[in-house]
Structure 1
Amino acid sequence: MSAKPKRIRCLTVLIEAQTRLMNELNLFDIQHNTIFTWRGNGNPKDQKDKTVHGSFCQAIIAQELSTEVFWIVLVDPGGDSGTSISNSARWIILKACQQFGIDILNIRAFEIYPWEKGPSYAEIILGEYHFLEGCMKADISWQPCDTGVFGSLKKIVEIAGEGVVDHG
Structure 2
Amino acid sequence: MYFKVTYSTIYNWKGSGTEQEQNDPSLMDSFCHLIIAHEATTEATWIILIDQGEDAGEPATNCIQYIVPRICERVKLKIANLRVFEVWPYHQGDPRLKYTEVVISDISFDEYGDRVLRNSWRPTDDQDAKILAQLIETVGDKVIQDEV
Q: How many Å separate the matches in 2 of 1:139 and 1:99?
A: 19
Amino acid at match of 1:69: A
| Aligned pair partner of 2:119 in 126, 140, 155 | 140
2:19 counterpart residue number:
44
State the match for 1:159 in structure 2.
138
Unaligned residue ranges in structure 2 (runs of 5+): none
Counterpart for residue 30 of structure 2: 55
Q: How far apart are the structure 2 equivalents of 1:53 and 1:125?
A: 27
- Percent of aligned pairs with the same residue? 31
The whole-number CA distance in structure 2 between the counterparts of 1:155 and 1:60 is: 12
1:31 maps to 6
Show CA shifts across 1:1-21 (max 9, x none).
Answer: xxxxxxxxxxxxxxxxxxxxx
- Normalised by the length of structure 2, the TM-score is 0.87
Matching residue within 60, 80, 87 for 1:85: 60
Consecutive unaligned residues in structure 1, runs of 5 or more = 1-23
| Residue 49 (structure 1) shift | 1.1
CA distance in 2, matches of 1:155, 1:92: 24
Q: Normalising by structure 1, what TM-score?
A: 0.77
Map 1:110-149 → 2, pairs under 5 A? 110-113=85-88, 114-116=90-92, 120-132=98-110, 133-149=112-128
Q: Bigger shift: 68-77 or 114-123?
A: 114-123
Per residue, is there more helix in 1 or in 2?
Answer: 1
CA contact (8 A) 2:69 2:117 kept: no
Structure 1: 4+ residue segments shifted above 3 A? none
Aligned residues: 140
Superimposed CA distance per residue, residues 62-118 of structure 1 (whole angstroms, 9 cap, x where no aligned partner): 000112210000000112110011101122211221121111111100000121256
Q: Distance in 2 between matches of 1:145 and 1:93?
A: 18
Return the alpha-carbon distance in structure 1 between the equivalents of residues 104 and 61 of structure 2.
13
Residue 47 of structure 2 contacts residue 83 of structure 2 at CA under 8 Å; is this kept in 1? yes
Larger mean CA deviation between 113-122 and 64-73 belongs to: 113-122
Q: What's the Cα RMSD here?
A: 1.7
d(CA) in 1 for partners of 2:58, 2:42: 33
